Amino acid sequence: MIIDRLYDEVRRKGPVCVGLDTSLEYIPEWFRNHFNDIDEVLFQFNKWIIDATLDAVACYKIQIAYYEALGLKGLSAYKKTLDYVRSLGAIAIADIKRGDIAKTAEMYARAHFEGDFESDFITLNPYMGMDTLKPFLSYVRNMEKGIFVLVRTSNEGAKDIQYIKDEKGVRVYARVAEKIHDLSEDYLGQCGYSSIGGVLGCTHIEEAAKLRQDLSHMFMLIPGYGAQGGGAADVAAYLKDGNGGIVNSSRAILLAYKKHEGGEAHFDLYARREALRMKEEILNAAGLPEK
């Protein structure tokens, strides 16, 4: 199953996931001037980042909104980036956060697990109900695909809904986690984790240890590290022996060159350094040696 591949990538390379949330303003001017088309600028920037970090990170998460905002040229870059990641044998997570029902959900599944925008994992929003996930399950079962389902997100507004308590005092996100975990048990890989994982932001660390224990089969996509305020110790609470999750970082890696005078000339090398620094910091916080 796809989760066994991801687990093995984390085992070999550490838990860092590079977020390719690539905005044109992130790209050095000298680099932009080398290309005539927006799609080629975006793709080539991503390619340089991927080439520089391939041996140091577990996977890549491509946030579709950054590409949709630029229309057809942006989506061309999105497709090229997905294709390139997967052509290297690396794992691509399409961060699309879809959440709808019936035939609409079927079309989302087809769009992002087949054809031009095919990826290995996608992110989904379950807050319309568990039936929103059903059209994706056949792909998980039969086509080596995986999903990460929003459980508790890293933004401050997560508390507006996800933290509401039911009549038994249990928060909404905990109920969602329970339902996702129950569903995930039918899709376990040999590694003991499921190809149905959860998104749990590391910026809210209360109950972290309990969640990791209760959600024993849930592989976690962990946003919030770095620019959003989460630290290595926050992240480590959601890992088990340095595995069982991937830690996403976007701006901190893509813009690492801005911390160095003249760094734009070697933006890819500074991205690599930041990914390696992040990996070392997280593994140290988890009490493990650097990989």
Quote the CA–CA distance of 136 and 107 in Å, as a whole number: 10
| Structural contact between residues 76 and 112, judged by C-beta atoms closer than 8 angstroms | no
Residue 156: predicted pLDDT? 83
> Which residues in the chain come in under a pLDDT of 70?
203-206, 227-229, 290-291
Annotated catalytic residue within 13, 47, 73, 97: 97
Quote the CA–CA distance of 259 and 48 in Å, as a whole number: 19
Quote the CA–CA distance of 12 and 234 in Å, as a whole number: 22
* Residue 133 per-residue DSSP state: T
**What's the predicted TM-score (pTM) here?**
0.95
**Residue 259 known to be catalytic:** no
pLDDT in tens, 19-35: 999 999 999 999 999 99
Quote the CA–CA distance of 142 and 205 in Å, as a whole number: 35
In the chain the domains, ranked by start, together with CATH numbers, are 2-285 (3.20.20.70)
**Which position has the token pair 């003991």?**
192
Residue 211: predicted pLDDT? 85
Residue 13: predicted pLDDT? 97
Sign for the pseudo-dihedral over CA of 111, 117, 120, 126: negative
